[in-house]
């Protein structure tokens, strides 16, 4: 019973982070029809920015903000400079391009920051809460993780559904040409979309790093899990990304706890295959028949 609870809580917390990452992928997919495989190293390198800030003696929160801001800038620059030329071209170009970015950012991080393992602070503590003499596997940091992801999601909902900019961004994602005809600077919206997605990705990076070790490859498996979660929920659906993330987090936590942590990646692959064979459009997608 205790293990069931622990596994579930761990899964839920991790699931929130996967949900955030999946959300970042979905944001970019919706606006530019590209799966940004480079999102993982982008998040990784912004976490290193935070690490540099923290190591220089400043508070975690300044590092936190620095990471998010650098994510914003990185996402905007990458879209504008690297991705813009392949938008609208055959999708294989964009895939290879993001993979190339993946490798480049990895190597740059390793050169600048080294390949060694570094520890990363976790605010609010890493000890479980005590309740009636039993320690619940919910740490202060886990609560912070869940809350911050929820806050970000609420902010995004507010942005997209209650602001003019949000409306323009949604319109650009749904129908670029008509949006242009209505006066929307679609290219600017795309840049903004990538910038926001990168911020969300950076948040995931910080949350995964908290209390764990940071090294250039530490986010690599997260891009796989985020992708699986996004596909599970439906690549077009932000709600789906969140639900998919939670489900995947729970599922993988159970695999890790009851089978073996080595097989988690394989389990995610298996889940992906099953989803793509049974319901390729994901749980929450709109009805339009789509080939996968």
Footprint of another protein on 179-238 (CB under 8 A): 179-187, 217, 220-221, 223-224, 227-228, 231
Residue 34 within binding range of another protein, rule CB under 8 A:
yes
CB burial string 109-143: b at 16+ within 10 A, e below: beeebeeeeeebbbeeeeebeeeeeeeebbbebbe
Residue 178 within binding range of another protein, rule CB under 8 A:
yes
Tokens of 291: 């080939």
Token match 């605010």: residue?
A: 123
Separation of alpha carbons 102 and 219, rounded Å: 11
Tokens of 250: 């729970």
Residue 69 within binding range of another protein, rule CB under 8 A:
no
Q: Least distance (Å) from another protein to the CB of residue 11?
A: 18
Nearest to 245 by CA among 99, 145, 102, 119: 145
Binding mask 106-145 for another protein (x = CB under 8 A): xxx-xx--xx------------------------------
Among 103, 134, 151, 155, binds another protein (CB under 8 A): 103
Q: What is the DSSP letter of 136?
A: E
If binding means CB under 8 A, how many residues of this protein chain bind another protein? 69
Q: What is the DSSP letter of 79?
A: I
Interaction site with another protein (CB under 8 A): 34-35, 37, 82, 85-86, 89, 91-93, 95-97, 99-108, 110-111, 114-115, 164, 167-168, 170-171, 174-175, 177-187, 217, 220-221, 223-224, 227-228, 231, 260, 262-266, 268-269, 272-273, 276-277, 280, 286, 291-292
């Amino acid at each position: 019973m205790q293990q069931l609870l622990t596994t579930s809580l761990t899964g839920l917390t991790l699931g929130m982070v996967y949900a955030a990452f999946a959300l970042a992928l979905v944001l970019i997919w919706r606006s530019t029809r590209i799966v940004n495989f480079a999102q993982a190293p982008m998040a990784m390198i912004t976490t290193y920015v935070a690490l540099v800030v923290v190591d220089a003696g400043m508070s975690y929160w300044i590092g936190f903000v620095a990471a998010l801001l650098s994510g914003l800038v990185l996402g905007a620059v990458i879209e504008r400079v690297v991705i813009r030329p392949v938008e609208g071209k055959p999708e294989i170009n964009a895939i290879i391009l993001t993979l190339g970015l993946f490798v480049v950012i990895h190597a740059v991080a390793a050169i600048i920051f080294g390949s060694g393992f570094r520890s990363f602070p976790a605010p609010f503590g890493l000890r479980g809460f005590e309740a009636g003499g039993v320690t619940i596997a919910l740490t202060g940091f886990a609560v912070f993780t869940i809350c911050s992801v929820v806050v970000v999601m609420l902010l995004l909902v507010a942005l997209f559904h209650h602001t003019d900019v949000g409306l323009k961004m949604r319109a650009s994602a749904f129908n670029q040409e008509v949006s242009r005809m209505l006066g929307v600077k679609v290219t600017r919206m795309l840049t903004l979309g990538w910038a926001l997605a990168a911020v969300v990705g950076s948040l995931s990076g910080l949350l995964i790093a908290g209390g764990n070790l940071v090294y250039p490859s530490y986010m690599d498996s997260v891009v796989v899990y985020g992708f699986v979660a996004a596909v599970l929920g439906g690549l077009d659906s932000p709600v789906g990304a969140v639900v998919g993330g939670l489900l995947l987090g729970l599922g993988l936590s159970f695999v890790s706890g009851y089978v073996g942590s080595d097989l988690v990646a394989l389990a995610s692959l298996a889940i992906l295959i099953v989803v793509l064979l049974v319901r390729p459009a994901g749980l929450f997608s709109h009805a339009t028949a789509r080939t996968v």
